[in-house]
């Protein structure tokens, strides 16, 4: 036998057995098949081919008819008799012109034939047909396997399903089959039901003699469904709610001959339906209470409508809401009533532990009382013994405490059951919500009056403060300028007549006046930053920094400062005016506070820090001692009093106040290599509708 030549990349993966005693024909067939990516098993005689097939059955075989020893006809028979032979497609090949030769091979099991010499195109057609047959066979085999699996699965389901399946011969009214679930659902084994003709009708149909049912089934059409609900008591005395569904099956003549049925235990469903009904009634009532409350959240009339609804649902004849006295103390006062006629409740000042309602509020639990003596002695004054045989007090909870109580009254024979009390507690929650909103509205109105008075006082104080600031700006600066003017005139007109000390005094007067003017200007800036109304918008820091540096151009040239702005800078939410003041003050300080032998070097940059944006102004100045970091942002705080440094001590206070007004913060860190790194930052405030900050495009 020639060795097969499988290809790892063979797309078909189809093995074919080639059997021919002629070496040339065998080679010819093998090459044609390999060109189609078949895996070829080539044999020169039928005996070898049979041994190969038994070891490795192939889905396709090309068999020559005439061979020495075992011929092709016998090989075809053996292959087809093999357990896997029906899945093999055999192509018979012969060079004989004998009319019956190919007929014998087809009768032996060959599926198709070719005559030598074999035309390659004809072989290609035959192979296509063979492949289609193989694929069809594979699909059929897969379907058979699935069908067998599905049949077994159905058998298992039939044995394990919780419902009872059964069939009845309609003509003989005889039970012919029943599923094993009858033992758990009905309390009877299948054998018991099949053997006892009097046992199965009441168990499966709910009746042992129902002529109307049998008549309806006998006259029914195929597919008609009859449903019967009934109660069944099994051998253990357990009662179940069962539902039987029946379908009629007819013979070819149309006559009804069999009834198929399913018995289902619907006991849990019945319980769920009853529970659902109660829950639906509860939800409907809660929805009505919510609608009443939302219609007017602060209305006492709405609360009275809610009391009417609660009374109707629970069968009470009267209802009252009592709350703790808003004026303080332990007394309870009526807030709303329903069903009391002309009786008007009065505040109850008795100690809580001596009254039914008080104990309910203090213990935060419902209290139901039906004793006439207790109702008279411990009940509220609106209880009428001739009408009210029960009192149900339900605490109105709010947070960790109680606002008061919902009190229900009614006849003794309509006293709420345990289920009614559960419903009553749920309805009391809705009433408590309305009462809580009423109290909140009352408190809000009280607080609103106080708030409006406080706003008026603050507005007046701000107006007076602004007037004071303007007084500083105009009235106090005017004498300072006059003083400086006279000092300048004195030096200009009488300078030669004055001594050295007198001229020095005059120059000191001018310098002190200038410093006082700067101090007043900074105080005015601080006042404006603190009290000016702000409108926060997205601000491009690139534009703010550029404008600030242009404004400070003269000071920058005088100090010969080198300033590096690391673009791009962020766009942040803020006030452009305040940010201009912040940048100007920080850059101005960076140019002022440097050693005399050092040229100011300043770096301005921004960065994102989680939910905040930060602007840095870094310098190479004199630095800030760690114990003074917090103090330098206070008003009039100066770092070096002994050194003649310029400034009023208000600049950094203005920076901090401005950032606080924008909801931000300010700080400073020592810079590696000397100097300080001042930073200001603001949060992203999405509630104002701002986009997250972004780099400038």
In a domain, 67, yes or no: yes
Which percentage of the chain shows pLDDT scores above 70?
80
Q: Do 53 and 189 fall within a single domain?
A: no
Res. 426: pLDDT tops 70: yes
Are 455 and 538 contained in the same domain? no
Q: How many CB atoms lie within 10 A of CB 319?
A: 26
Range of the domain at 316: 280-531
- Identify the domain boundary among 471, 503, 531: 531
Give the DSSP letter string of 118-136. Answer: PPHHHHHHHHHHHHHHHHH
Query: Is the same domain home to 197 and 241?
Result: yes
Confidence of residue 155 (pLDDT cuts 50, 70, 90): low
Lowest-pLDDT choice from 78-92, 157-171, 181-195: 157-171
Residue 274 lies in a domain: no
Alpha helices, DSSP H, located in 296-324: 300-314
- Whether the predicted pLDDT of 510 surpasses 60: yes
Within-domain flag for 7: no
**In Å, how far are 64, 110, 126 from 94, measured between CA atoms?**
6, 12, 15
CA 403 to chain centre: 35
Classify residue 273: in a domain, yes or no.
no
* 364 in the same domain as 320: yes
Same domain membership, residue 250 and residue 196: yes
The pLDDT value recorded for residue 471 is 65
Give the HSE-up count for residue 4: Cα atoms under 13 Å, Cβ half-sphere: 21
Q: Does 168 share its domain with 216?
A: yes
Write the pLDDT tens digit of every residue in 127-149.
888 887 877 777 777 787 777 77
Residues 543 and 525 in one domain: no
**Boundary-marking domain end, from 531, 560, 592:** 531
How high is the pLDDT of residue 163? 87
What Å distances lie between residue 516 and 478, 521, 657, CA to CA?
12, 9, 22
634 in a structural domain: yes
The two tokens of residue 564 are: 């590096």
Domain shared by 438 and 290, yes or no: yes
Diameter of the chain by CA atoms? 157
Same structural domain, 234 and 170: yes
| 478 and 624 co-located in one domain | no
Instruction: Please list, residue by residue across 124-151, b when 16 or more beta carbons sit within 10 angstroms of its beta carbon and e when fewer do.
Output: eebbeebbebbeeeeeeeeeeeeeeeee
Domain boundary among 214, 237, 265: 265
Q: How many CA atoms lie within 13 A of 249 on its CB side?
A: 9
Q: What pLDDT was estimated at residue 688?
A: 43
Does some domain include residue 154?
no
| Tally of CB atoms within 10 A around 53 | 22
CATH number at residue 565: 3.30.565.10
User: Do 434 and 419 have their domain in common?
Assistant: yes
394 inside domain: yes
Is residue 414 located within the same domain as residue 458?
A: yes
Those residues whose C-beta lies under 8 Å from the C-beta of residue 127, and which sit 6 or more positions away, are: 33, 36, 60
Give the tens place of pLDDT for each residue, 343-388. Answer: 778 888 888 889 999 999 888 899 999 999 998 999 999 998 888 9
CATH number reported for the structural domain that contains residue 113 in this entry:
3.40.50.2300
Please state the domain count of the chain.
Answer: 4
| The pLDDT of residue 570 | 92
* Residue 36 belongs to a domain: yes
- Residue in 115, 77, 76 with CA at minimum distance from that of residue 99: 115
When the pLDDT of each residue in the chain is averaged and rounded to a whole number, the result is 79
């Amino acid at each position: 036998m020639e060795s097969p030549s499988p290809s790892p990349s063979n797309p078909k993966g189809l093995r074919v057995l080639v059997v021919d005693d002629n070496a040339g024909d065998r080679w010819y067939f093998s090459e044609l098949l390999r060109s189609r990516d078949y895996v070829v098993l080539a044999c020169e005689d039928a005996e070898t081919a049979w041994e190969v097939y038994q070891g490795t059955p192939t889905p396709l075989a090309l068999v020559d008819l005439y061979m020495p020893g075992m011929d092709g006809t016998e090989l075809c028979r053996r292959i087809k008799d093999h357990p896997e032979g029906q899945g093999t497609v055999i192509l018979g090949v012969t060079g004989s012109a004998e009319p019956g030769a190919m007929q014998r091979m087809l009768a032996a099991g060959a599926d198709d034939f070719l005559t030598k010499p074999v035309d390659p195109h004809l072989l290609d057609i035959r192979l296509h047909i063979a492949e289609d047959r193989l694929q069809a066979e594979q699909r059929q085999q897969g379907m058979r396997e699935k069908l067998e699996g599905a049949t077994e699965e159905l058998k298992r389901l039939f044995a394990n399903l919780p419902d009872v399946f059964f069939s009845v011969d309609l003509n003989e009214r005889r039970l012919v089959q029943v599923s094993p679930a009858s033992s758990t659902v009905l309390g009877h084994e299948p054998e018991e039901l099949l053997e006892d003709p009097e046992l199965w009708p009441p168990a499966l149909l709910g009746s042992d003699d129902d002529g109307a049912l049998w008549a309806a089934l006998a006259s029914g059409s195929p597919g008609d469904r009859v449903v019967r609900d009934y109660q069944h008591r099994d051998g253990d005395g357990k009662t179940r709610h069962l539902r039987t569904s029946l379908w009629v099956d007819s013979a070819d003549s149309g006559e009804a001959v069999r009834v198929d049925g399913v018995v289902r235990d619907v006991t849990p469903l019945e319980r769920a339906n009853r529970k659902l009904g109660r829950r639906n009634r509860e939800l409907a009532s809660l929805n009505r209470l919510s609608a009443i409350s939302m219609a007017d959240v602060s209305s006492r009339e709405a609360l009275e409508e809610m009391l009417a609804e609660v009374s109707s649902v629970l069968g009470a004849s009267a209802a009252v809401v009592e709350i703790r006295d808003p004026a303080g103390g332990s007394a309870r006062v009526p807030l709303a009533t329903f069903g009391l006629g002309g009786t008007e409740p009065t505040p109850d000042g008795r100690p809580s532990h001596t009254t039914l309602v008080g104990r309910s509020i203090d213990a935060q639990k419902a209290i139901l009382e039906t004793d006439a003596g207790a109702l008279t002695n411990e009940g509220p004054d609106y209880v009428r013994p001739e009408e009210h045989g029960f009192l149900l007090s339900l605490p109105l909870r709010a947070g960790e405490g109680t606002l008061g109580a919902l009190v229900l009254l009614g006849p003794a024979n309509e006293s709420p059951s345990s289920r009614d009390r559960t419903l009553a507690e749920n309805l009391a929650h809705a009433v408590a919500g309305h009462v809580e909103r009423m109290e909140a509205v009352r408190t809000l109105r009280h607080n609103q009056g106080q708030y409006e008075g406080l706003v008026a006082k603050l507005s007046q104080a701000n107006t007076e403060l602004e007037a004071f600031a303007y007084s500083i700006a105009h009235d106090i600066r005017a004498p300072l300028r006059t003083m400086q003017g006279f000092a300048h005139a004195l030096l200009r007109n009488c300078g030669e007549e004055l001594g050295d000390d007198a001229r020095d005094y005059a120059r000191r007067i001018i310098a002190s006046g200038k410093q006082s003017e700067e101090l007043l200007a900074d105080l005015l800036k601080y006042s404006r930053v603190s009290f000016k109304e702000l409108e926060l918008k997205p601000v491009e820091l690139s534009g703010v920094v550029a404008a600030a540096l242009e404004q400070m151009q003269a000071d920058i040239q005088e100090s010969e400062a080198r300033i590096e702005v690391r673009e791009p800078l962020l766009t942040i939410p803020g006030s452009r005016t305040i940010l201009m003041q912040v940048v100007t003050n920080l850059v101005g300080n960076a140019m002022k506070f440097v050693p005399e032998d050092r040229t100011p070097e300043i770096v301005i940059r921004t960065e994102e820090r989680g939910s905040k944006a930060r602007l840095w102004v870094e310098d190479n100045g004199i630095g800030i001692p760690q114990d003074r970091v917090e103090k330098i942002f206070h008003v009039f705080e100066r770092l070096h009093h002994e050194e003649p440094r310029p400034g009023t001590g208000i600049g950094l206070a203005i920076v901090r106040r401005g950032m606080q007004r924008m909801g931000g913060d300010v700080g400073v860190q020592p810079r590696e290599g000397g100097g300080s790194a001042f930073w200001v930052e603001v949060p992203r405030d999405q509630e104002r509708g701002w986009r997250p900050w972004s780099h400038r495009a």
